[in-house]
Amino acid sequence: MNSGVDINRWDRCVLIGSLAIVIVHIYALIVFGATYWVDGRDYIELAAAMRSAASLTAFYATIGQWIYSHLGPGVPVIWVVLQFFPSSWQWPLLAIFQHAFAAIALIFAFRTICEFWPSRFHLISLFVLLFLPAYQSFHNALLTESVTSSLVLIAFACCLRLSVRGEFGGSCLYVALGALFVVTQFRSYWGAIIAAMLFCCLLYRGRLLSRWLPILIITSISSAVAYPAYRFLETGRFFMPSGGLNFLVAGFQINPHPSIAVRNLFDTVDFPSSLPRDQKIETGMVMDDVLKLAQFWHEEGLENAAINRQAIDLGQALSNDGISVQVSRFLYSLASIGVIVPHLTAGSEREIFRGYTAQAMFDHQYYYYRWQAWTYDQDYGALFASFFDSDNSNDPALLAETGLANAQIRQAFAAYITKLPNRFRDPLELGMVPPDFWVILSFVGCALLIRRLSIVPVFMLCAVAIAFATAFLFPVGNTRYAVPLLPLYILSTSIGVSRFFAGKRVCRS
């Protein structure tokens, strides 16, 4: 009898949590309104190019392969579908789709942890995540973060089920493999993260020698080559995603004072007369400069692959230029997993990023985190206009389609930018908390699980290590990249705390 009462109680808990998920997602859709970032324009440009083989060939003729080859087709495909509807419908349909998908993913994950590790604490964790602005704001934007975080959450929940339930395989495994394939089309390294989680599942359950390992390998490879293969069929060119010219820009950003050895390496590379080599090495090269340099190499007869290789070699030389650069690179990459406070340990006056001291970089990362969580300002309309005006010249690497992309964003988004006070977007003021807090909580939760449920810390290690390694190798440092990690941080904390107190109750009894 008591067992039946307990089951009913946790069923009610899941029902309450599921209703809260739906209600708060509807609330967030309304109060945040249309959110945006400049990268949305890049996805619209690729969407326009994907409409025909000729336009896709033109997109990747030069700049597309130099700068945008890392863009996946996921968001552009969503935008292509939205073009079948009137412009006034496009943002609402986008937001409804992303919030609905996020709600389904979160309900599945919440039901999973309540089913296997029932605790009232899960409801508290759920409400924290639901009212975290950095989680909600991206569901209203034309970016990769929303769908990526939802797919990762589904895969995480599937991996939990595969690890702890008696039966292995079935629909959960197929869903996780599907999430792996699809998420690679949005943010490729997250496909590697899900693949690593599934590999750990196989190892944990003693299934490495089963048929599932070759299936996992085949799915992982096919997900990585799917879009390059499609691109080859359309354009006749096969190439994998590459940082290209972005490596060189990132190298100058992370290394404000190149060494003599790096300067000598630059002396072996031809520069146009319009780019004074020594001056540019001293002041740093921005994308406009690097694009002129690539165009010069192209006119000299270098193929796109050779241009990218040369830019990557120079960028890596800058990024590997001594211990101090590696320390700055390490701190910079930590931001991509949501860790920004360690910037303050580098010395407030030390220049760790071109034009930024350690203190200034922390301030910038914290500002950026709050800005993209839609809690820094009440009215984002003015900046929207500056980003997407028809005569916008902020981005020197704009393609010919940019005018059309700007117009499409304005038509679809402008009417839905809200001007509500921040207390509506962040009623619990969780947006003021630096993202480090959620990372620390997850670390504590995982520490509590090492002996009780070791597979959860292993999954978190897969996610954090691969995300950090990707950021470090590029190198990039941006709290936006940590958004798909936020649900994992909070849910792993919830599992850890619930297991800890469950163990305490058992000991007392």
Tell me how far apart the alpha carbons of residues 157 and 162 are, in angstroms, rounded to a whole number: 9
Which one, of 421, 415, 315, 435, lies nearest residue 377 by Cα?
421
Query: Does residue 398 have a pLDDT over 60?
Result: no
Query: Could you give the percent of the chain with pLDDT greater than 70?
Result: 94
Query: Does residue 399 have a pLDDT over 70?
Result: no
Which one, of 49, 77, 80, lies nearest residue 64 by Cα?
49
Tens digits of per-residue pLDDT, 336-364?
999 999 999 887 778 888 889 999 999 99
Mean pLDDT of the chain: 91
Query: Does residue 506 have a pLDDT over 80?
Result: no
Do β-strands 356-357 and 351-353 pair in parallel, antiparallel, or remain unpaired? Answer: antiparallel
Question: Which pLDDT value is given to residue 405?
Answer: 87
Element (H, E) at 352: strand 351-353
pLDDT confidence band for 504 (50 / 70 / 90): low
Instruction: Please enumerate, as own/partner, the contacts of 55-60 that have beta carbons within 8 Å and a separation of 24 or more.
Output: 56/231, 56/234, 56/235, 57/234, 57/235, 57/236, 57/237, 59/399, 59/401, 60/231, 60/235, 60/237
Helices (H), 62-137: 63-67, 74-82, 87-116, 121-130, 133-136
Adjacent-strand bridge partners of 356: 353
pLDDT confidence band for 233 (50 / 70 / 90): very high
Which one, of 368, 363, 359, 306, lies nearest residue 336 by Cα?
368
DSSP-based three-state secondary structure for 119: coil
275: left (phi over 0), alpha (psi -120 to 50) or beta: beta
Question: Which pLDDT value is given to residue 396?
Answer: 43
Which one, of 342, 341, 360, lies nearest residue 350 by Cα?
360
Peptide bond into 475 cis (omega under 30): yes
Query: Does residue 507 have a pLDDT over 70?
Result: no
The token pair at 183 is 């998420």
Q: Percentages helix, strand, coil for the chain, rounded to the nearest 5?
A: 70, 0, 25
Distances (CA, A) of 464 to 25, 44, 460: 26, 30, 6
pLDDT confidence band for 5 (50 / 70 / 90): very low
pLDDT confidence band for 390 (50 / 70 / 90): low
| Cα dihedral 224→225→228→232 (10° resolution) | 180
Per-residue pLDDT, averaged over 115-126, amounts to: 94
Question: Which pLDDT value is given to residue 505?
Answer: 56
Tell how far CA 27 is from the center of its chain: 24
pLDDT confidence band for 125 (50 / 70 / 90): very high
DSSP-based three-state secondary structure for 302: coil
Note the pTM of the prediction, 2 decimals.
0.93
Which one, of 240, 484, 457, lies nearest residue 338 by Cα?
484
Question: Which pLDDT value is given to residue 394?
Answer: 47
Instruction: Give 52: exposed, middle or buried? Use CB within 10 Å, 0-12, 13-18, 19+.
Output: exposed
Query: Does residue 509 have a pLDDT over 60?
Result: no
Tell me how far apart the alpha carbons of residues 267 and 420 are, in angstroms, rounded to a whole number: 54
Query: Does residue 387 have a pLDDT over 90?
Result: no
The token pair at 71 is 């863009």
Question: Which pLDDT value is given to residue 379?
Answer: 84
Element (H, E) at 356: strand 356-357
Question: Which pLDDT value is given to residue 31?
Answer: 96
Tell me how far apart the alpha carbons of residues 78 and 82 are, in angstroms, rounded to a whole number: 6
Question: Which pLDDT value is given to residue 52?
Answer: 93
Query: Does residue 403 have a pLDDT over 90?
Result: no
Which one, of 369, 370, 351, lies nearest residue 360 by Cα?
351
Question: Which pLDDT value is given to residue 145?
Answer: 97
Per-residue pLDDT, averaged over 184-210, amounts to: 95
**Beta carbons of 160 and 122 less than 8 angstroms apart:** no
Tell me how far apart the alpha carbons of residues 432 and 426 are, in angstroms, rounded to a whole number: 9
**Beta carbons of 305 and 447 less than 8 angstroms apart:** no
pLDDT confidence band for 393 (50 / 70 / 90): very low
Per-residue pLDDT, averaged over 422-438, amounts to: 96
Question: Which pLDDT value is given to residue 475?
Answer: 77
Query: Does residue 15 have a pLDDT over 60?
Result: yes
pLDDT confidence band for 503 (50 / 70 / 90): low
Place of tokens 């597979």: 455
pLDDT confidence band for 373 (50 / 70 / 90): very high
Question: Which pLDDT value is given to residue 492?
Answer: 98
Per-residue pLDDT, averaged over 209-232, amounts to: 96
Tell me how far apart the alpha carbons of residues 179 and 439 are, in angstroms, rounded to a whole number: 24
Query: Does residue 153 have a pLDDT over 60?
Result: yes
pLDDT confidence band for 230 (50 / 70 / 90): very high
Place of tokens 């299934």: 207
DSSP string, 313-351: HHHHHHHTSSHHHHHHHHHHHHGGGT--GGGGGG-TT-E
Q: How far apart are the first and last CA of the chain?
A: 20
DSSP string, 221-285: HHHHHHHHHHHHHHHS-------THHHHHHHHHH-SS--HHHHHHHHTS---TTS-HHHHHHH--
